[in-house]
């Protein structure tokens, strides 16, 4: 395989094709529209399903129907459109259906703007619409990682019969980088729960309804047991210079990548700073972060929002070290230099305290 | 006692229905509508090829009552869900079964666009001019001056508009191949409804476009009537607002229904 210069949105689309995505339903919204545009010709050329829906509401419900047939299916959107999909996500979640949803986050709240943001962290990690549920959430920081995580997303969705969200920001969606596309995957066999017509078997029925309290609680317990397995098996993160770090900088996606530059600059200045970049936002890589919190003097969370992952960091660190925050909001992108300023100030205060 | 050999079975449960007791109120015509759909699927030998998408509303358990593969959609989204299924399984028969709150109110965008795309699915639209499951609120299809729990003095059309005539509206779309309105208020009309359902499903089988049969139906409980009064109310009050007829029959569909 060779590396190609690929735009994030297009790379995700082609990775989904190669991962065996049989159907895509979507609606145009910046900054993810290239994904839809690319698939509009690519899927048709391959004899697969592409349909531009009348709304994000319709798109996610088309995905819901398509997922019922047992095929690998996907949609993509950006923050306001992703909000419109919440109801459908909840139904898909409560029907134990695998599917992949890409959220290329933009500045908000409201119509906001089309600039990169990480303001949907709560929305993607805390629930899928209403009810007790967490999707698996993957957060790439490079175009290559976006490709790899697209394939992983389909595999995890099928393995757990679970909703998987690929959460990136407009920066990665719009950026071009050299990256390698994945191998083509063979189609998995049609699962035995799929609705395909009840020929020579009892009817299959897919519903998210459990009218009696005991049935509904038992179903919720089933979801929670699955989430327990997911939390035990799927926490993923990347580290830099954590062996001797006094200050641990923590960021995901683009913010984590920019923070990595700031950490390199700090290291050149002789500061003992490390980086922890969560690749899964759910399950949050709490186990490893808790270990690191034992050995550092302080943590600095960097996000392109008002401090949302910050909550998960505080829960994982659980008082083992002070947790500070630096964030930019509404589509503003932090510069390595301003993160470095905060790093220097925190390192200075750590030594003053000593 | 008549010897078994001389007995002839003249009426039985269609194979496309399960033996479950339904949750429908006495006198509700959902049961009639279910039976007609099931008979049509049996006669066309499509039971094993059919996927039913159930609505939110009184028919929310339809997927349990039909002996078919089935799914339960979010409120109003059955046409979108059916689109997803049909696009993946184009050789299967895909039905949505929807009430008037589900289809004409919250799901109006989904049904219009499914029809506009000429999505080869079949919709059974059960119109009883009221929200049944939530206890009798006004629907877009409620009649002028109709008393409901959310229009206790009667539907004021100056405030809430006139009843929405879905069949007439969808008939304007080129993608719609077969759009008809029938009624379930007496045996003659029930027989016509059955024929229309058969045609609508055949329209789908031939890939001619979107097909829908609107069925005027009763809701004795929420109308505050006996079952017999409710049937009369359909005849006396609904037919003038919702005239029966064929609103769109494409040329290709006409050959089928002839």
* Chain A interface mutation, best of B15, B16, B50, B88, highest count of A Cβ atoms under 10 Å: B88
Answer whether A197 touches B (CB < 8 Å): yes
**Residue range A290-331, pLDDT digits in tens:** 999 999 999 999 999 999 999 999 999 999 999 999 999 999
**Residue range A97-132, pLDDT digits in tens:** 999 999 999 999 999 999 999 999 999 999 999 999
Test B80 with A62 for CB contact under 8 angstroms.
yes
Please give the pLDDT value at position B4: 83
Work out the number of other CB atoms within 10 angstroms of the CB of residue A296. Answer: 24
Question: Which chain A residue has the Cα nearest residue B88?
Answer: A66
First-to-last C-alpha distance (Å) of chain A: 52
- Beta carbon pairs, A and B, within 8 Å: 128
Respond yes or no on whether ipTM tops 0.85.
Answer: yes
Is A343 in contact with A273 (CB distance < 8 Å)? yes
Q: Which residues in chain A land under pLDDT 50? A: none
Q: Give the DSSP per-residue string, A10-75.
A: HHHHHHHHHTT--EEEE---TTSHHHHHHHHHHHHHTT-EEEE-SSHHHHHHHHHHHHHTT--EEE
Distance CA B226, CA A279 (A): 62
B178 versus B7: the higher-pLDDT residue is: B178
Please give the pLDDT value at position A50: 98
User: How do beta strands A298-303 and A323-327 pair?
Assistant: parallel
Please give the pLDDT value at position A224: 98
* Chain A interface mutation, best of B23, B81, B94, B107, highest count of A Cβ atoms under 10 Å: B81
The pTM (predicted TM-score) of the whole model is: 0.97
Is B86 in contact with B50 (CB distance < 8 Å)? no
pLDDT for B257 beyond 90:
no
Nearest CA-CA distance, residue B46 and chain A, Å? 9
A353 versus B175: the higher-pLDDT residue is: B175
Show me where the domains of chain A are located.
Answer: 4-185+206-233, 237-353
Please give the pLDDT value at position A353: 52
**Residue range B200-246, pLDDT digits in tens:** 999 999 999 999 999 999 999 999 999 999 999 999 999 999 999 99
Q: List residues of chain B with CB under 8 Å from any CB of chain A.
A: 47-51, 53-54, 60, 63-64, 66-74, 77, 80-89, 92, 109-110, 113
Test B80 with A23 for CB contact under 8 angstroms.
no
Test B70 with A195 for CB contact under 8 angstroms.
yes
> Reduced to 3 states, what is the DSSP secondary structure of residue B246?
strand
The CATH number that domain A237-353 falls under is 3.40.50.920
Test A63 with B84 for CB contact under 8 angstroms.
yes
What is the band of B5 on the pLDDT scale with cuts at 50, 70, 90?
confident
> Reduced to 3 states, what is the DSSP secondary structure of residue B145?
coil
Nearest CA-CA distance, residue A206 and chain B, Å? 5
Q: What residues have CB less than 8 Å from A47, skipping those under 6 apart?
A: none
Positive or negative, the CA dihedral A192, A195, A196, A200 is positive
Q: Which residues of B117-150 are buried (b: 16+ CB within 10 A; e: fewer)?
A: bbbbbbbbbbbbbbbbbeebbbbbbbbeebbbee
Which DSSP symbol is given to B242?
S
Answer whether A67 touches B (CB < 8 Å): yes
The CA distances from residue A180 to A2, A3, A24, A177, B39, in Å, are 6, 5, 22, 10, 55
Nearest CA-CA distance, residue B114 and chain A, Å? 9
Answer whether A43 touches B (CB < 8 Å): no
Nearest CA-CA distance, residue B130 and chain A, Å? 23
Test B67 with A198 for CB contact under 8 angstroms.
yes
What are φ and ψ of residue B66, in 5° steps? Answer: -95, 140
User: How do beta strands A136-138 and B93-99 pair?
Assistant: unpaired
Residues of B in contact with A68 (CB under 8 A): 51, 71, 81, 84-85
**Residue range B89-124, pLDDT digits in tens:** 999 999 999 999 999 999 999 999 999 999 999 999
The average pLDDT across B57-85 equals 97
Domains of chain B: 26-150+160-257 (3.40.50.970)
Distance CA A114, CA A102 (A): 16
Q: Do domains A4-185+206-233 and A237-353 have the same CATH topology?
A: yes
CATH fold label, A4-185+206-233? Rossmann fold (3.40.50)
The reply to whether omega before A93 is within 30° of 0 (cis) is no
Residues of B in contact with A49 (CB under 8 A): 87-88
Nearest CA-CA distance, residue B52 and chain A, Å? 9
Test A49 with B51 for CB contact under 8 angstroms.
no
């Amino acid at each position: 395989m060779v590396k190609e210069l690929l735009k994030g949105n297009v790379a995700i689309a082609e990775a989904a094709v190669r991962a065996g995505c049989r159907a895509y339903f979507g609606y145009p919204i910046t900054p993810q529209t290239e994904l839809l545009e690319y698939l509009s010709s690519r899927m048709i050329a391959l004899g697969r399903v592409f349909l531009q829906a009348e709304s994000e509401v319709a798109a996610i419900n088309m995905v819901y129907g398509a997922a019922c047939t047992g095929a690998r299916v996907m949609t993509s959107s950006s923050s306001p459109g992703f909000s419109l999909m919440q109801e459908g996500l909840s139904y898909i979640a409560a029907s134990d259906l695998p599917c992949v949803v890409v959220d290329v986050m933009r500045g908000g709240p409201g119509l906001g703007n089309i600039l990169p943001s990480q303001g949907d962290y709560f929305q993607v990690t805390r629930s899928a619409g209403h009810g007790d549920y967490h999707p698996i959430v993957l957060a790439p920081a490079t175009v290559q990682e976006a490709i790899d995580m697209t394939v992983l997303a389909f595999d995890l969705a099928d393995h757990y019969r679970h909703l998987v969200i690929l959460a990136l920001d407009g920066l990665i969606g719009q950026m071009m980088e050299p990256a390698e596309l994945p191998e083509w995957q063979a189609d998995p066999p049609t699962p035995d729960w799929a609705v395909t017509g009840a020929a020579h078997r009892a009817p299959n029925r897919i519903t998210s309804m459990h009218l009696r309290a005991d049935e509904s609680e038992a179903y919720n317990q089933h979801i929670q047991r699955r989430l327990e397995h997911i939390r035990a098996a799927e926490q993923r993160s990347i580290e830099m210079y954590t062996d001797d770090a006094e200050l641990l900088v923590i960021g995901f996606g683009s913010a984590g990548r920019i923070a990595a530059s700031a950490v390199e600059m700090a290291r050149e200045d002789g500061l003992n700073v490390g980086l922890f970049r969560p690749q899964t936002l759910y399950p949050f890589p709490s186990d490893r972060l808790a270990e690191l919190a034992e050995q550092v003097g302080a943590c600095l969370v960097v996000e392109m929002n008002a401090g949302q992952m910050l909550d998960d960091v505080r829960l994982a660190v659980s008082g083992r070290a002070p947790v500070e925050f630096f964030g930019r909001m509404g589509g503003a992108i932090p510069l390595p230099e301003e993160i470095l300023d905060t790093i220097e100030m925190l390192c200075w205060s750590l030594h003053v305290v000593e | 006692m008549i010897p078994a050999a001389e007995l002839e079975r003249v009426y039985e449960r269609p194979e496309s229905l399960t033996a479950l007791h339904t949750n429908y109120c006495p006198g509700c015509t959902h049961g009639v509508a279910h039976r007609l759909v099931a008979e049509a699927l049996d006669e066309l030998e499509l039971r094993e090829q059919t996927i039913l998408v159930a609505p939110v509303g009184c028919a929310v358990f339809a997927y349990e009552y039909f002996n078919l593969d089935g799914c339960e959609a979010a409120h109003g989204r059955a046409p979108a869900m059916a689109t997803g299924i049909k696009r993946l399984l184009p050789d299967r028969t895909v039905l949505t079964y929807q009430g008037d709150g589900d289809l004409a109110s919250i799901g109006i965008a989904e049904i219009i666009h499914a029809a506009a795309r000429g999505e080869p699915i079949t919709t059974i639209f059960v119109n009883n001019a009221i929200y049944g499951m939530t206890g009798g609120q006004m629907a877009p299809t409620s009649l002028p001056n109709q008393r409901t729990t959310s229009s206790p003095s009667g539907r004021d059309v100056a405030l809430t508009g006139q009843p929405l005539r879905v069949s007439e509206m969808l008939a304007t779309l080129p993608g719609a191949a077969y759009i008809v309105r029938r009624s379930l208020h007496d045996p003659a009309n029930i027989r016509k409804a059955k024929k229309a359902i058969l045609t609508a499903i055949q329209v789908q089988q031939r890939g001619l476009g979107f097909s829908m049969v609107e069925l005027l139906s009763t809701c004795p409980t929420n109308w505050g009537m006996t079952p017999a009064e409710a049937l009369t109310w359909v005849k006396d009050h609904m037919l003038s607002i919702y005239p029966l007829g064929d609103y769109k029959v494409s040329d290709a569909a006409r050959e089928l229904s002839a």
